[in-house]
Structure 1
């Protein structure tokens, strides 16, 4: 097994090197890495908000540990009207402010980080490039109007700033950064100030015309979208969703497409890019509607948002395989540190700390495990052994509880246990082969 993986590593290392040396992809990976602290902090407060503080959640709710009733001695309407529930909801709101920074405005932060890196690799002023791209993104984001009697308020919907807008943010950041850098490198349109002018002021005037042309170009584009109504939509983000949704709705429930979807998601993760955020357009336009249809009782879709979120825990199979079979002190140390976060499906410490990212040894099991889970889950639900994932459950829900609550049956929790066992079996040979490869390197 070690010789096979060693040969595979010899093939994959040059490929990984070529991928990682691509400046554009490297900038995208670095941008997602820059946002990693926001994601982890947002996830932490999300766990507190959704799992701990939710009066009807895993800890406090009657469908979970039911500590809320144990603490208050109340149930039913009396529990709902209690000061305890009111206090929990206030603290949930405070946590939600942090969650909003980590997830609610993720796309806006991604524009800043990605355009900053693009400005650097394309030879422009990084800070000016980032500010210009952020301005372009705001221009391309439609302003929602909330009207009351004689009172009209302009506001931006977080739907355009959260993970639903990731593809839009990548497109706008790329186009705005490229246009701005090209214009700023044109000496004919640069405003040159006397040497006596402070450097910061000189730089500002030097990019004045490029900023004007870039933002004006996006203003024209946004106006065109607003009045042309491509696919009946007036916003770039909505147009992208309409383009993606139409061809996918017909075969999104097929096992072949679901496997392909999972392969794409986890390959992005292996490269160091948040796969679920990049493919959020597919998830939100195809699998979330399927989830809501299941919850409403209008349909029984096998593949839904809840189905795939229940399979996030396949990294736990890697951690257990490391605890059982790994002789690498570094792997075991990272696994111990990442284990608490992985209990709530937060894999970033493992992905970047082990690392899984661009690690040729772990590429095959990292993609194979979720694909195996997809097939097993499909067979289990199609044969009636496990109900469909009907209820919307926070993706941070711990293993077994997520599957049980999501399906409304203990069989959903057992399905996750089966997935975990299969994942351990898939990861184990690669972990053991990595031990042998280390021993051979040490002897040499």
Structure 2
């Protein structure tokens, strides 16, 4: 066991450290965080617009009007989420370098719009919303990275207009950004023209055909998902935030798959993907946090006898309900604890496999594309994520039971160890107290 841990530590820790400190992955992660409130807002109204049985309670005319009134909430957020991510990435990229971050965001957005086809069927001057969402996500990410780097490059070369003293700072900053933005956008305009001369016609088609489509197909499969889930657990075991590290790489894929399901759900069509952002967040991480430790807390209350674990259960229980599990990770502890390495790694993988096949077979509905806030308690989150279907909550109950069973023997071993240590300490304390009393009497 020690040899395996040493090998994992020597191989994985340097990789994780590089990923965690990579400025592009950091900007990507933070860019999604900028978009998250808007995404959640849109998801809330998707849920409200699709309450079960409303179509049976309301008349057809009233139901149509109800949907029409609420649909703009998701159309203005979820359907064009790529735009918000692009602004966030550009902003964070320039902010990291100490520049005028807002210009990083707007130059990234403008560069993306220059590359985006502005034709819908035979109508020109119109941008299809699908290319502003999942379909354009990868182009948006690459564009934001390159645009922010170009903008910063021109600023660093002092290719700016210096305004005289006394000019308002807002005006001065605007003119300072003029030349770097002009050069950056000109480069993207040239790229658009060059691609129009190729068989792909647009950069959008090129990126989607050669990069996004293959990666999305890979990320939607079970093998890649299991690798991602396993790596999350391994990084956490060594004290690194596995969720942040792995999400930095997989979020563009998972969000794209999520958006495809949402479009199908809203259109009343069959959902195409099992693996989505909500598959990971709701049915694995969203059951107590990374490692699905809500089941561990339940097991602590049911079977343990050591004071240490019982106090940990009291401390971690309320937080675990809302999927915050740092008390368990650091209090059990999970980090570098060989006694719980096996259940820590195995349980989420088993749950991912069971959930995948339950959804593939139709026993449980696939995630509907609704982004459920990560702090939503289990059962409610499963119900919402599957388009207000009770089987989503049932699936989460099954997953809790699976984790409970896998953890049980290992938790008992840990509990027995803590209990023996506590009994030993109590015995020593009693002996010390008795000795002290005898000495005083004498």
Is 1:229 the counterpart of 2:199? The answer is yes
Provide the secondary structure at the position in 2 that maps to 1:228.
coil
Unaligned runs of 5+ in 1: 53-58, 62-67, 73-78, 297-302, 339-349
* Post-superposition offset of 1:186: 1.0
User: Which residue does 1:336 correspond to in 2?
Assistant: 321
User: Which residue does 1:125 correspond to in 2?
Assistant: 100
User: Which residue does 1:343 correspond to in 2?
Assistant: none
Matches within 5 A, 1:150-161: 152=123, 154-161=125-132
Please identify, of 209-218 and 237-246, the stretch whose mean Cα deviation from structure 2 is larger.
237-246
Is 1:306 the counterpart of 2:282? The answer is no
* Post-superposition offset of 1:375: 3.4
Q: Distance in 1 between matches of 2:220 and 2:179?
A: 50
CA contact (8 A) 1:328 1:435 kept: no
* Post-superposition offset of 1:279: 0.9
CA contact (8 A) 1:331 1:354 kept: yes
Q: Distance in 2 between matches of 1:41 and 1:355?
A: 30
**1:282/1:305 Cα in 2 relative to 1: closer, same or farther (>3 Å)?**
same
User: Which residue does 1:194 correspond to in 2?
Assistant: 164
CA contact (8 A) 1:132 1:211 kept: yes
> C-alpha root-mean-square deviation of aligned residues, in Å?
5.2
From 153, 162, 173, the counterpart of 2:133: 162
* Post-superposition offset of 1:224: 1.8
* Post-superposition offset of 1:262: 5.9
**1:399/1:112 Cα in 2 relative to 1: closer, same or farther (>3 Å)?**
closer
Matches within 5 A, 1:168-207: 168-187=139-158, 189-207=159-177
* Post-superposition offset of 1:153: 5.7
* Post-superposition offset of 1:243: 1.1
Q: Distance in 2 between matches of 1:185 and 1:402?
A: 46
User: Which residue does 2:252 correspond to in 1?
Assistant: 278
TM-score (norm 1): 0.64
User: Which residue does 1:422 correspond to in 2?
Assistant: 402
User: Which residue does 1:88 correspond to in 2?
Assistant: 66
Q: Rg: which structure is higher?
A: 2
The count of aligned residue pairs is 379
Q: Distance in 2 between matches of 1:351 and 1:235?
A: 46
* Post-superposition offset of 1:433: 10
Q: Distance in 1 between matches of 2:119 and 2:33?
A: 31
Q: Distance in 2 between matches of 1:11 and 1:430?
A: 26
Unaligned runs of 5+ in 2: 236-241, 301-308, 373-379, 426-442
User: Which residue does 1:240 correspond to in 2?
Assistant: 207
Provide the secondary structure at the position in 2 that maps to 1:192.
coil
**1:121/1:435 Cα in 2 relative to 1: closer, same or farther (>3 Å)?**
farther
Q: Distance in 1 between matches of 2:231 and 2:406?
A: 19
Q: Spell out, residue by residue over 1:258-306, the C-alpha distance to the aligned partner (whole angstroms, 9 max, x if none).
A: 6447668999844274766411487489999999xxx78xxxxxx9513
User: Which residue does 1:108 correspond to in 2?
Assistant: 83
* Post-superposition offset of 1:11: 9.2
TM-score (norm 2): 0.65
CA contact (8 A) 1:146 1:155 kept: no
Q: Distance in 1 between matches of 2:90 and 2:411?
A: 38
Is 1:219 the counterpart of 2:189? The answer is yes
Q: Spell out, residue by residue over 1:146-176, the C-alpha distance to the aligned partner (whole angstroms, 9 max, x if none).
A: 55xxxx4632122122233322222111100
Q: Spell out, residue by residue over 1:75-125, the C-alpha distance to the aligned partner (whole angstroms, 9 max, x if none).
A: xxxx76353x244324xx42x333234422221111111111111222432
From 112, 121, 126, the counterpart of 1:137: 112
**1:289/1:155 Cα in 2 relative to 1: closer, same or farther (>3 Å)?**
closer
Is 1:46 the counterpart of 2:46? The answer is yes
